[in-house]
């Protein structure tokens, strides 16, 4: 489960940190993570969520409106855009909730739905990228022996399995997330109700499932893909060229994923190690790294659609074809609609003949 690393505020009434914390030592050693949750993060997430919604809706509309059916790679990219879109919608509601201070009657529902939606769609994004890397591996490294596995039906089935498994993995979020009120800081936090021991076990599973396993699979596939591209760089077959163009886009998306999501998981590792006193890290440094990792992780949903346009040559062709389709439909509709002049002239002709 990939949650916001800090407790997510539900209904909140934040008060300013004690004015006595004026010195540099106080700022560095008495760091309060609630400050950034209420100031920097919501504003940033509000901006990227609006951009992410617009860009991912654009990507989905291009694939939906195009006259040809999506191939295997495009099916995965559609599902990735859908996961990013749902993630951005959840983050938009979360940011608006924090900034506008919604009514407390909604806090219990929001406390369960926000972390669930954010966690589920984050997990889906990660494992759809794993499917994408496996697909590129089969397309370039084993193009003949595994051709049957790269059918659109198999791609849709694999995506459905990912969505279902991610949903089941995050059901505990709906069950155990509860609102806890802190009267000293006058703030309500959304935290899991299970024990610290279970929380530590889940943190370890989170690191294994959302960092170690995906990175191992993606790294292995990427290395094999790069080797295959080097061996077939001078190939003149058009099919192979198309696969290379698609693979260039996929490698760019995978690189963006690693840059965006690895710091957040590294933060989870450092936080876990600090619980056991294996490493000693100043809370301010850990909190600053937390803020940077959150910014990078959620920026990935905005970066992916930009990569489609900048790197994806086939996607740019689809965009041009979709716009030409819309233009042709408008022209044909304009021709078919009769004007007032033609209507009046036709009426006069009918009167004359009668």
Q: What SS3 class is residue 147?
A: coil
- For residue 97, give both structure tokens: 């909730």
Comparing CA positions, the residue from 101, 102, 93 lying closest to residue 121 is: 93
For 265-275, b/e burial (b = at least 16 CB within 10 A) is bebbebbbeee
Tens digits of residue pLDDT in 9-19: 444 433 333 44
- Helix 238-275 to helix 313-336 angle (10° resolution) is 110
Q: What SS3 class is residue 189?
A: strand
Tens digits of residue pLDDT in 259-301: 888 888 788 888 878 777 777 777 667 777 777 887 888 888 8
Average pLDDT, the chain: 75
**Residue carrying structure tokens 């990569």:** 307
What does DSSP say about strands 187-192 and 177-182: parallel, antiparallel, or unpaired?
A: antiparallel
Bridge partners, 177 (sequence order): 192
Comparing CA positions, the residue from 239, 302, 312 lying closest to residue 63 is: 312
Give, as one character, the DSSP assignment of residue 186: T
Q: What SS3 class is residue 283?
A: helix
Comparing CA positions, the residue from 168, 71, 181 lying closest to residue 127 is: 168
Share of the chain above pLDDT 90, in %: 10
Comparing CA positions, the residue from 219, 217, 240 lying closest to residue 230 is: 240
Cβ contact 46:96 at 8 Å: yes
Distance between CA 274 and CA 297 in Å, rounded?
A: 22
Q: How far is CA 82 from CA 57, 112, 280, 326, in A?
A: 8, 21, 40, 23
Q: How far is CA 196 from CA 28, 126, 229, in A?
A: 26, 26, 48
Tens digits of residue pLDDT in 116-161: 888 888 889 889 989 988 888 888 787 766 555 668 888 999 999 9
For the chain, give every domain's residue range.
8-323
- Helix 238-275 to helix 107-140 angle (10° resolution) is 140
Comparing CA positions, the residue from 307, 317, 309 lying closest to residue 242 is: 317
Question: What pLDDT does residue 238 have?
Answer: 52
Question: What pLDDT does residue 159 have?
Answer: 94
Distance between CA 315 and CA 63 in Å, rounded?
A: 9
Mean pLDDT of 329-354: 55
Distance between CA 116 and CA 10 in Å, rounded?
A: 13
Question: What pLDDT does residue 165 have?
Answer: 93
> Is residue 25 within a helix (H) or strand (E), and if so which, with residue range?
helix 24-29
Tens digits of residue pLDDT in 237-261: 555 555 666 677 777 888 888 888 8
Pick the CATH number of 8-323 from 1.20.1070.10, 3.10.450.40, 1.10.1530.10, 3.30.1390.10: 1.20.1070.10
């Amino acid at each position: 489960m990939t949650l916001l690393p800090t407790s997510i505020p539900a209904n909140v009434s934040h008060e300013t940190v004690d004015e006595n914390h004026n010195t540099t030592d106080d700022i560095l050693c008495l760091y309060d993570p609630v400050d950034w949750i209420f100031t920097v993060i919501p504003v940033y997430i509000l901006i990227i969520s609006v951009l992410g919604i617009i860009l991912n809706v654009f990507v989905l509309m291009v694939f939906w409106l195009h006259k040809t059916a999506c191939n295997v790679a495009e099916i995965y990219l559609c599902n990735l855009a859908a996961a990013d879109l749902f993630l951005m919608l959840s983050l938009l509601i979360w940011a608006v909730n924090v900034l506008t201070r919604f009514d407390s009657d909604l806090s219990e529902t929001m406390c369960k739905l926000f972390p669930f939606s954010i966690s589920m769609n984050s997990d889906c994004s990660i494992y759809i990228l794993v499917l994408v890397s496996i697909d590129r591996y089969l397309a370039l490294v084993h193009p003949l022996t595994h051709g049957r596995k790269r059918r659109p039906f198999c791609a849709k089935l694999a995506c459905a399995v990912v969505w279902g498994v991610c949903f089941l993995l995050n059901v505990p979020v709906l069950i155990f997330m509860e609102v806890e009120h802190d009267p000293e800081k006058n703030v309500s936090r959304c935290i899991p109700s299970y024990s610290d021991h279970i929380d530590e076990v889940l943190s370890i599973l989170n690191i294994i499932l959302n960092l170690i396993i995906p990175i191992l699979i993606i790294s292995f596939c990427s290395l094999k893909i790069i080797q295959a591209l080097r061996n077939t760089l001078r190939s003149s077959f058009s099919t192979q060229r198309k696969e290379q163009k698609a693979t260039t886009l996929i490698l760019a998306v995978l690189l963006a994923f690693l840059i965006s999501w690895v710091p957040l998981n590294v933060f989870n590792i450092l936080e876990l190690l600090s619980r056991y006193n294996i490493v000693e890290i100043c809370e301010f440094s850990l909190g600053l790294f937390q803020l940077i990792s959150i910014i990078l992780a959620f920026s990935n949903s905005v970066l992916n659609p930009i990569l489609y346009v900048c790197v994806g040559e086939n996607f740019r062709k689809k965009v041009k074809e979709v716009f030409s389709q819309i233009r042709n439909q408008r022209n044909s509709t304009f021709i078919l609609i009769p004007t007032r002049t033609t209507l009046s002239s036709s009426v006069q002709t009918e009167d004359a003949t009668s």
